[in-house]
Amino acid sequence: MKLLAPFKPTASDPWDVAKAAHLCRRAGFGAPRKEVEKVLELGPEGAVERFLHVDPQRDEEYRKLFEMNQRGFIQFQAPQMLQAWWLFRMQNDPFPLREKMTLFWHGHFATSFHKVEDMRMMHEQNETLRRGALGDFRDLVLNVSRDPAMIRWLDNQENFKEHPNENFARELMELFTLGEGHYTEHDVREATRAFTGWHLREQKFFFDADAHDFGRKKVLGHTGRFDGRDVVDILLQEDQAKRYLARKIIEFFVMPEPSEALVAEAADVLTRCNLEMRWFMRALFQSKAFYSPEAYRSKIKSPVEFSVGAVRDLDGVFPGQELAELTHGMGQELFAPPSVKGWDGERDWIASNAWLVRGQFAENFSHAGAEFNLGSSLPLETHVPFEESDPQIYVDYYLDRLVQGEVSPETRQELRDYMTRLDEFNDEDAEEGFRREIDFRVYKIRGLIRLILTLSEYHLC
């Protein structure tokens, strides 16, 4: 049975809310209620097409609106401004899969402002990744090879025929295309010669012919007067390049520890689709493997997935700069991966200090702008009409909305007990605004949201 064969709903394995929310979380950020409903209505094939399609007219309309709203970020004078810009975009972009792919490529082609030291270069690279997010992987590798931030990050500005610098060629093989152990030091040296002269002039890519080595080179058994484009073609012709890329994409979008059989099958799909990401992601998201028990809630949300997903799940808003600080505290500083390998992820995301900051985000977000008096603007807790007096209704509603109801009976009961417990307030509290029933309920609903956002179930993707 092929693992990447299309998933076909059956009576015993239906297309349901759980699977629709699973697709929303993996192909975007969070599982907003309206998005889940739409995806459920479209069915497994139509839902995937919805994520893959980027409507040019709608994209242009969003671009203009986004530019109007990004004026405060436009100078990008500090890293926090660029981080806030991207987090704002993740929260609001109408094409979440493109943004999720951009995040994946950001970790794959990892660069950091700590060395690049030019926020406009970092922004330009981010746009390059977004434009190529669902396109031809070969084109993306070539564009990244000519990207000013990458050239500065891996020192290709210092790569001359008289004094070769191997940094870029080595990482191109080890991190971007083949993986460690699938090339020789001789291959690195020869590939380095092919990228001599790929320099910068006035912070733009510039081919310096005087610095380029036009001699014959031998890379992975191929011989010729290669330049960087030829080397990229040689690397991507290797079966190992497909296996390496397939594994990384599966680990990010499907499951953290895929079987060799799944990787091999995915590599074959990448070969047949000629490294076109749109076709590959279609096959992946429509597959039996994607909806298998091994994939479902098998991944730990990254700080960005957790926080942006929470905002989208609750139709909320959260200041970009504060969110940037919090995601940094959780272990994911955008535009500054910890190494050339990007982020390790998974259990590293929930180290003790990072977990505390996740709780801080849940507290800040659930109580953002809270005014415990009548007439205040309380968007988070107005999903359910205030005339509902049964605490169970609120518990069931938010569990369904945030984790599709997938918690133990004991957890559900603990949350119901929380909603009915009164002993946490004393007379002094009552004097300060909790006397009126609606104020008390607002406080409780916000507390309920905070508690659900800190459940381990919510941190699984």
pLDDT of residue 377: 39
Q: One-letter amino acid identity for 71?
A: R
* 208 — pLDDT class (breaks 50, 70, 90): very high
* 431 — pLDDT class (breaks 50, 70, 90): very low
| Average pLDDT for 148-169 | 97
386 pLDDT more than 60: no
pLDDT of residue 438: 54
**308 CB-contact burial (10 Å; exposed 0-12 / middle 13-18 / buried 19+):** buried
pLDDT of residue 436: 52
Q: Which two tokens stand for residue 263?
A: 């990787």
Determine, yes or no, domain membership for 448: yes
Q: Which domain holds residue 423?
A: 380-459
Determine, yes or no, domain membership for 244: no
* 374 — pLDDT class (breaks 50, 70, 90): very low
| Average pLDDT for 232-244 | 98
| Average pLDDT for 184-189 | 98
How many domains are contained in the chain? 1
Tell me, what DSSP letter sits at residue 25? H
Cα(52)–Cα(101) distance, integer angstroms? 11
pLDDT of residue 444: 85
pLDDT of residue 378: 42
Determine, yes or no, domain membership for 426: yes
Determine, yes or no, domain membership for 396: yes
Determine, yes or no, domain membership for 390: yes
Q: pTM of the full predicted structure?
A: 0.93
CA 382 vs. chain centroid, Å, equals 29
* 373 — pLDDT class (breaks 50, 70, 90): very low
What Å distances lie between residue 218 and 129, 159, 215, CA to CA? 30, 18, 10
Determine, yes or no, domain membership for 15: no
Cα(377)–Cα(389) distance, integer angstroms? 20
Better pLDDT: 67 or 106: 106
Determine, yes or no, domain membership for 151: no
**385 CB-contact burial (10 Å; exposed 0-12 / middle 13-18 / buried 19+):** exposed
* 123 — pLDDT class (breaks 50, 70, 90): very high
Cα(188)–Cα(40) distance, integer angstroms? 49
Determine, yes or no, domain membership for 123: no
Q: How many other C-beta atoms are found inside a 10 Å radius of the C-beta of residue 76?
A: 20
Cα(20)–Cα(47) distance, integer angstroms? 8
